[in-house]
């Protein structure tokens, strides 16, 4: 500082009279002397214990979120803006990390569910909330998700911490479990074989959202439709 004449900043640890150690930031400026007076150095020492704790908490959060198997978002409550997101969020939604940090959670919701977002954010902030909905990817496709959101204190600011799980496979398993029950019920009802098969195929078509479902039986060298 004496050589350059510019403000200097550094951080280190100081020891109190009782032997305890605490982190500080030291800022120093040079005040030139006038009329032959000796220049002075003015020092400002700030206890940054709380700041260091916040940095450590954020570091732990980052380690946790990058190891997580779910999407993690830190969301600012007043406007729903995303202030941090883990790597998985980029892979799931198709946006880069920088793109995500320029977005709000409203962008993920289908237009018919956006009106619910503010209410859900308020509940997440006050008591925490667990719900299922659909989120929209960058390519316009929708995925079913389970959202677990609650408020945390991050660097002195209360933000919404959201854990978002893709439940596509869970929905598929539930749909086929339901289909199995429906098929079993159809098979247990008295009816002609072809009618039973037709109703089973109708149930499969409905559950899978297929355009058409059919059964073809071999007859000679051909495979005509049975149903």
**DSSP code string of 152-172:** EEETTEEEEEEEEEE-HHHHH
Could you give the number of structural domains in the chain? 3
Question: Degrees (nearest 5) of the Cα angle 113, 116, 119?
Answer: 165
Report pLDDT for 155. Answer: 62
Residue 215 located in a structural domain: yes
pTM of the model: 0.60
**Cβ–Cβ under 8 Å, residues 73 and 145:** no
Write the burial class of residue 135 (CB in 10 Å: 0-12 exposed, 13-18 middle, 19+ buried).
Answer: buried
Within a domain: 36: yes
Would 3 be classed as within a structural domain? no
Q: Same structural domain for residues 133 and 221? A: no
In this structure, what CATH number is given to the domain that contains residue 149? 3.30.450.20
What range does the domain containing 94 cover?
Answer: 52-166
Task: Tell me: do 158 and 97 sit in the same domain.
Answer: yes
Q: Which residue is associated with the tokens 């980029």?
A: 90
pLDDT at 131 over 90: yes
Long-range contacts of 51-58 (CB under 8 A, 24+ apart): 52/23, 54/154, 54/155, 54/156, 57/154, 57/155, 58/154, 58/155
Q: What is the pLDDT of residues 96-112, one digit of tens each?
A: 999 998 899 999 987 77
């Amino acid at each position: 500082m004496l050589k350059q004449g510019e403000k200097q900043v550094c951080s280190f640890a100081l020891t109190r009279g009782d032997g305890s150690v605490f982190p500080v930031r030291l800022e120093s400026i040079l005040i030139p002397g006038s009329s032959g007076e000796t220049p002075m150095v003015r020092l400002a020492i700030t206890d940054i214990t709380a700041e260091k704790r916040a940095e450590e908490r954020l570091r732990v959060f980052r380690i946790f979120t990058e190891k997580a198997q779910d999407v993690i978002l830190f969301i600012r409550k007043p406007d729903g803006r995303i202030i941090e997101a883990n790597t998985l969020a980029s892979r799931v939604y198709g946006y880069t990390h920088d793109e995500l940090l320029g977005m709000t959670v409203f962008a993920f919701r289908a237009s018919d569910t956006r009106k619910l977002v503010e209410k859900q954010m308020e509940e997440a902030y006050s008591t925490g909330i667990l719900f299922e909905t659909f989120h929209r990817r960058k390519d316009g496709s929708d995925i079913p998700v389970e959202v677990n959101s609650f408020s945390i204190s991050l660097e002195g600011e209360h933000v919404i911490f959201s854990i978002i799980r893709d439940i596509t496979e869970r929905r598929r398993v539930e749909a086929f479990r339901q289909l199995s029950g429906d098929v079993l019920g159809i098979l247990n009802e008295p009816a002609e074989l072809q009618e039973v098969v037709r109703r089973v195929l109708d149930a499969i078509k409905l559950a899978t959202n297929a355009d058409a479902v059919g059964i073809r039986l071999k007859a000679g060298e051909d495979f005509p439709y049975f149903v």
